[in-house]
Structure 1
Amino acid sequence: MATDTFNQQGFDFIPPLYSEEEILEIVNTIEVNTKDKVNFRRSNNLFAIRRFLLEIPEVLPLVFTQKLKSILTELLGENYFLVKSIYFDKPADSNWYVAYHQDLTISVNQKIDTESFGPWTVKPDNYAVQPPLAILEQMVTLRIHLDDTSAENGALYIIPESHNKGILRPELIDWSNTTEKVCPVEKGGIMLMKPLLLHSSKRTTNLQPRKVIHLEFANAALPNGLEWAERWNWKA
């Protein structure tokens, strides 16, 4: 992993970090701890757990191995903390298209009207709000892939370096002069990305499942009494 490349391009990859046995243990732990719970998002197209590490703390030592902590230390240094965790399980017949977008909101515990924060959205168990650009620019996302993910199987398509252009309106982009890149990831591997990087995903064509752990990290204290909904020190 080259930190300079990541900062310039807005994305990078880490080769498989988890073994088949480790992935199986993570998946089994999730299944055991969600079997009788109904408060997670379930449909024929998607199973999702927001506030994933808070809902299933049993996976913490399985996900945050010493290998991952070493990579996070190299990438983020000492001042970053986790601010969001989501688990996605898209079944083999889950098949929808996600248009190009940037991840522009953060999750906070309560709504406090604050200058340069907005618009606001009510989410289960927290609020989502668009913060100032400076906060979004320093954030980092890790996507841990628990299945092989290819162009035929929901891998992200991204626009390299688009994170350097502030907040973009995809409908105003000159796509004739824009380079698109597909981002396949091996099972157990990790994709790193900046939330402001334009990204999308196409419909699956190979009917393979896609399980992903989505983690977001930040290093900014929020003003005016606002608090991150899921702040956790991964170094502890």
Structure 2
Amino acid sequence: MMNLAPKAKEIRESGFAVVDNVFTNEQVENILAAINRVDSTKETFKKSEDLFAIRQFLKEIPETTDLIFNYKLKNIINEVFGEDYFLVKSIYFDKPETSNWFVSYHQDLTVSVDQKIEVAGFGPYTKKHNQFAVQAPLHILDNNFTIRIHLDDTNELNGALKVIPNSHSKGIYRPEKIDWSIEKEVSCNVMRGGIMMMKPLLLHSSNRTSNHQKRRVIHLEFSNQILPKELNWSEHLDLFTTVDSIKDT
């Protein structure tokens, strides 16, 4: 069994870590087959020349849940973060071979919730594809984490995330304030079937594709935080009790 203590240390100190061979090629193919069978005309799907995305991915394609949360992934979550975490957001991204889509440096400051309501410490809100997102207090963002499952080999030529190590420890860090005399940029290259784990406050970006290779990623966000009673997570999956269904909170 893999010693995950070094990965937990990387997360604490750098804000990210990569783990290879979490999924076999056969497991990746099974996930992709389930995705390819779905009706892509739904409003939770975004389709353009540069990007195909499925929001609330595990709700839209629930048969992928057992495929994704295999023993290896659940063990990684348990050993690196703990059994009290649950899934709160899932998105599938397909960045085509000729994509000009890029994302500039930013932190993930919002969480997905079920409604817009005034709650102290939360705001402002945005709404995309009938989903509400709200900027959350730092104590929630500090405890959350993201796992990105890579369904293709990914490097700096087809949109691997570029990150600034340890930027997650500096609170709200505006991109225009990045001091490149002291900061360094790292490309998080991930092999097919591997994962990247990251903290939401880690500054990250993504380049345009230049090598005509796909980049398909399943983006999963996790929390162990209870929201104020007026708010609910838009998705909620308890990982260590059941993965048979996803329930609305």
Match of 2:101 in 1: 96
Residue in structure 2 matched with residue 135 of structure 1 by the alignment: 140
Q: Displacement, 1:225?
A: 1.4
Match of 2:129 among 124, 132, 140: 124
Contact 1:90 1:211 in 2 (8 A): yes
Query: Which of 216, 235, 239 is residue 234 of structure 1 equivalent to?
Result: 239
Number of aligned positions between the proteins: 235
What is the match of residue 117 of structure 2? Answer: 112
Corresponding residue for 2:210? 205
- Tell me the TM-score normalized by structure 1: 0.96
**Are 1:112 and 1:224, in contact at CA under 8 Å, matched by a contact in 2?**
no
Does residue 19 of the first structure (1) align with residue 19 of the second (2)? no
Q: State TM-score, norm by structure 2.
A: 0.91
Q: CA deviation at 1:96?
A: 2.7
Q: Per-residue deviation at 1:202?
A: 1.2
Do the aligned partners of 1:114 and 1:224 also contact (CA within 8 Å) in 2?
no
Structural RMSD (CA): 1.1
Give the 3-state SS of the residue equivalent to 1:88 in structure 2. Answer: strand
Question: Contact 2:125/2:132 (CA < 8 Å) preserved in 1?
Answer: yes
Give structure 1 regions of 4+ aligned residues with deviation exceeding 2 angstroms. Answer: 123-126
- 1:225 maps to which of 217, 224, 230: 230
Matches of 2:229 and 2:81 in 1, distance apart? 25
SS at match of 2:63: helix
CA offset at residue 19 of structure 1?
1.2
Q: Equivalents in 1 of 2:59, 2:213: separation in Å?
A: 28
Q: After TM superposition, give the deviation of residue 176 of structure 1 in Å.
A: 2.2
The answer to whether the 8 Å contact 1:159/1:178 transfers is: yes
Q: C-alpha displacement at 1:177, in angstroms?
A: 1.9
Question: CA shift at 1:33, angstroms?
Answer: 1.7
Is the aligned partner of 1:38 residue 2:42? yes
Matching residue of 2:171: 166
Determine which of 142, 147, 151 is the counterpart of 2:152: 147
Q: Is the 8 A contact 2:167 2:201 kept in 1?
A: yes
- 1:15-63 Cα offsets, whole Å, 9 max, x none, are 121111111110011110235x332111111110000001110111111
Deviations 1:86-111 (A, max 9, x none): 00011101123311100010000011
Q: List runs of 5+ in structure 2 lacking aligned partners.
A: 243-249
Q: Which runs of 5+ in 1 are unaligned?
A: none
Paired residues for 1:171-210 under 5 Å: 171-210=176-215
How many Å separate the matches in 2 of 1:125 and 1:18? 32
- In structure 1, what residue type is equivalent to 2:92? Y
* Counterpart residue number, 1:4: 9
Give yes or no for contact 2:90–2:221 (8 Å, CA) kept in 1.
Answer: yes
Q: Which residue of 2 aligns with 1:62?
A: 67
Counterpart among 75, 79, 87 of residue 84 in structure 2: 79
Cα distance in 1 for partners of 2:178, 2:20 equals 32
Give the letter for the 1:102 counterpart: Q
Partner Cα distance (2:98, 2:79) in 1:
38
Give the % identical residues: 53
Q: 2:147–2:220: 8 Å Cα contact kept in structure 1? A: yes
Q: Within 1, Cα distance between the matches of 2:224 and 2:42? A: 33
